[in-house]
Amino acid sequence: MPTPATAGAAYVRRASGPILPPPLLSRGAIAWARANLFSSPLSSAITLALVAFGLWALPPLIAWATTRAVWSAPDGALCRAHQDGACWAFIAHKLDYLRYGSYPIAERWRVNAVEIVGAALIGWMLWPGVPRRGLGAVLFFVSFPIFAFALLHGVEGVGLPVVDTLLWGGVFVSLATALVGIVFSLPLGVLLALGRRSGLPIVRAMSVVFIEFVRGVPFITVLYMANNMLPLFLPPGWVPDRFIPPLVGTALFSAAYLAEEVRGGLQSLDKGQSEGAMALGLGYWRMTGLVVLPQALTRVIPGIVNIFIGLFKDTTLVAIVAMVDFLAAMDNAFKDTTWGGPTILPTGYFFAALFYFVFCYGMSRYSAAMERRRAVGRAG
């Protein structure tokens, strides 16, 4: 019997009522569609209009990229004959150049080795549940950069001929720039964020000046400045490799943005967390490393990944200081007159867009998965 509604009446429940499942109408695909796609006449109209637009726009694009495309050809003649489809033969023909640039063909295994080891270490470090992820992170952040540099650049006298960075190009230059940017900008950004909240006035002032200055300048300006001003800070006669300044510029630029993101995470943390740690006798660095940062950083994973995605796409700008990244390699490939034709540029840029999208979307999905994992771990 339900609770009586009589005003002023006393009531004592004698037996517990049953625990019931929700009504069927609120579940299932049809109920979902009715609630989300056709909840009102306007909603229904918008749903139908968008479906119609998709049917109109997508099939031609898919046909252009697949059924009408030229998949293999010795040169551009076939592509010039089929102007209503993509020219994948061009990409296939230029794929090695797009991946390695002018890196000597006999030495390209070195690039492959670095890419494979790097991918394995990233997998080890980022995959939840893999044992000893900390060791993976140490290898990736400390050992891998040295290994990668030695292998890519070469070491005299151990059978690894030096490959001048003038010859580097293509995908691995883009990946290397992005990775160096990420590996150096994250620790630097964290230090800047801590510095900006420091109780030491000089540390704080220096952090603020650095962050505000680098953030207040366009990335291209930072690149030009790194290129032209870095030698001024080095001992006379010490000329950095032309590859170094853009990497420094990329890392510094991202670090300034990361610092502000991390600062947001630090500020969102309740003061009780640091007080709890201090009361236990943890000093500043242990409190920061064991209690504050683990919480602050996980809170701002979406923002950090956002900056990394931006960094990855911004690597295309290093071309202006004469580095041949993937997009620049694509532009170089367009200059091959045997492949001239109206479908070459659309195909090339479509492929480049796919390349960047795959990496950025991957980062985005990883970040989303981490957030879900974290939400599950906490709520219980």
Partner 1 sequence: MRGVGPMAADEMNAIEFVDVHKWYGSFHVLRAINLTVARGERIVVCGPSGSGKSTLIRCVNRLEEHQRGTIRVDGVELTNDLRRIDEVRREVGMVFQQFNLFPHLTILENCTLAPIWVRKTPKREAEELAMKLLTRVKIPEQAHKYPGQLSGGQQQRVAIARALCMNPKIMLFDEPTSALDPEMVREVLDAMTALAQDGMTMVVVTHEMGFARKVADRVAFMDEGEIVEINAPAEFFGAPQHERTKLFLSQILR
Query: Is 83 or 267 the residue whose CB approaches partner 1 more closely?
Result: 267
- Interacting residue with partner 1 among 63, 230, 282, 370 (CB under 8 A): 282
CB of 303 to partner 1, least distance (A): 18
Q: Which is nearer to partner 1, 156 or 270 (CB)?
A: 270
In the complex, the smallest distance separating the C-beta of residue 278 from partner 1, rounded to whole angstroms, is 7
To partner 1, the closest distance from the beta carbon of 151 in angstroms equals 37
Two structure tokens written together for 131: 């044992």
State the first-to-last Cα distance of the chain, in angstroms, to the nearest integer: 34
Contact indicator for 99, 171 with CB cutoff of 8 Å: yes
If one asks whether residue 378 binds partner 1 (CB under 8 A), the answer comes out as yes
Can you spell out the DSSP letters for 12-39?
---SPPPP-PPPGGGSSHHHHHHHHTSS
Q: Are 86 and 60 in contact (CB under 8 A)?
A: no
Q: Which of residues 291-320 bind partner 1 (CB under 8 A)?
A: 291, 294-295, 298
**Per CB under 8 A, does 200 bind partner 1?**
no
Nearest-10 crossing angle of helices 219-229, 244-268: 130
Rounded-to-10 torsion of CA 246, 249, 255, 258: -70
Binding window for partner 1 (CB under 8 A); candidates: 112-120, 171-179, 206-214, 276-284 = 276-284
DSSP 235: P
Near partner 1 by CB under 8 A: residue from 51, 116, 290, 369: 290
CB of 120 to partner 1, least distance (A): 28
Number of H helices, E strands in the chain: 17, 0
| Among residues 102, 165, 273, 364, the one that binds partner 1 under rule CB under 8 A | 273
Q: Which is nearer to partner 1, 47 or 273 (CB)?
A: 273
Size of interface with partner 1, in residues (CB under 8 A) = 22
Nearest to 85 by CA among 65, 107, 101: 65
- Beta-bridged to residue 70, according to DSSP, are 87
- Read off the amino acid at residue 59: P
CB atoms < 10 A from the CB of 247, how many? 21
Q: Does 267 bind partner 1 (CB under 8 A)?
A: no
CA dist 365 and 76 (Å) reads 38
Single out the residue of 276, 302, 346, 362 in contact with partner 1 (rule: CB under 8 A): 276
Q: Which is nearer to partner 1, 102 or 273 (by Cβ)?
A: 273
Angle at 248 between CA 189 and CA 284, to 5 degrees: 25
Provide the angle, in degrees to the nearest 10, between the axes of the packed helices 301-314 and 171-196.
140
- Contact window for partner 1 (CB under 8 A) among 67-75, 283-291, 306-314, 325-333: 283-291
Q: Which is nearer to partner 1, 45 or 290 (CB)?
A: 290
Taking contact as CB under 8 A, which single stretch among the options 31-39, 58-66, 285-293, 362-370 is the one that binds partner 1? 285-293
CA dist 256 and 207 (Å) reads 9
- Minimum CB distance to partner 1, residue 237 (Å): 43
User: Which residue in 277, 324, 344, 352 binds partner 1 (CB under 8 A)?
Assistant: 277
The number of beta carbons lying within 10 Å of the beta carbon of residue 162 is: 10
Contacting residues toward partner 1, per CB under 8 A: 270, 272-273, 275-283, 286, 290-291, 294-295, 298, 377-380
